[in-house]
Amino acid sequence: MPSLGVNIDHVATLRQARYRETPDNPNAEPDPVTAALIAEKAGAVGITAHLREDRRHIQDRDIFLLRKKITTKLNLEMGISEDILHIAFQIRPEDVCLVPENRREVTTEGGLDCVAHDKTLRSAIARLHDVGARVSLFIDAEEKQIAAAASLGAEFIEIHTGSYANKFGEERATELEKLRRGAAFALSLGLRVNAGHGLNYENTKPILALPGLEELNIGHSIISRAVTVGLETAVREMASLIAAG
């Protein structure tokens, strides 16, 4: 049965909106680490945080505190940069999800190009394995990208569900079929399958039927829902939706 990983980036986004220049201010709130502990209590099997090169939301301090305080597992989302790799080597997260980064984007806009970045990815994956991290590659459900991910030695792919989430009706059904075929192909190559991006309380259920799906990483919709019902309730609702699916 798929499980829920909660992405806490948007808690940090809210904090940074007011305290970007003074993140260590005792008044700086909300605290993403506190949010992570609530999410664990409410049923998350892991906490996801994306430490970006531009530090637009999650800060280095958050990552080190998460490593000390959470009791499930840490999934560190990151681009391929020496700066962030150095931090990953220090904190030794259970999971690392390598993603593309564009400083002009609001959020990650597409999957990683494993074919174009073969050499860089191969080196980063080997080094992350050396510190005990399992590696996932955030990619679109394209055969050439999935095949490249397998050849690079990653344990997981995280299928990018953004295109699916942004479509409706027959177009969404077409995108879902692409995801289904991609997940099945990944399994045939020995890869394990996670998924995420743009998922919410309305569009998640069909995704649960993807072959071999192990984990969904969801953030924005849960934090948005928490504004009206509270974070613990929002996480429990999503965890229950996944369990019932």
Query: Average pLDDT for consecutive 10-residue bins of the chain (245 residues)?
Result: 96 94 83 98 98 95 97 97 96 97 60 94 97 98 97 97 95 97 98 98 98 98 98 98 94
Distance CA 143, CA 85 (A): 27
Q: Give me the residue spans of the domains in the chain.
A: 3-244
235 and 216 Cβ atoms separated by less than 8 Å = no
Exactly one of 40, 77, 142, 215 is catalytic; name it: 77
Pairing of strands 192-196, 95-98: unpaired
* CATH code of the domain occupying 3-244: 3.20.20.70
Exactly one of 57, 158, 197, 215 is catalytic; name it: 197
Distance CA 159, CA 138 (A): 6
Exactly one of 50, 57, 158, 215 is catalytic; name it: 50
Entry field: residues in the chain: 245
Say whether 77 is catalytic. Answer: yes
111 and 97 Cβ atoms separated by less than 8 Å = no
Say whether 197 is catalytic. Answer: yes
Q: At what angle do helices 9-19 and 32-41 cross, to 10 degrees?
A: 160
Q: Which residues contact 91 (CB under 8 A, 6 or more apart)?
A: 63, 64, 67, 74, 76
* pLDDT attached to residue 109: 61
* pLDDT attached to residue 26: 83
Query: Does this model's pTM top 0.75?
Result: yes
* pLDDT attached to residue 106: 47
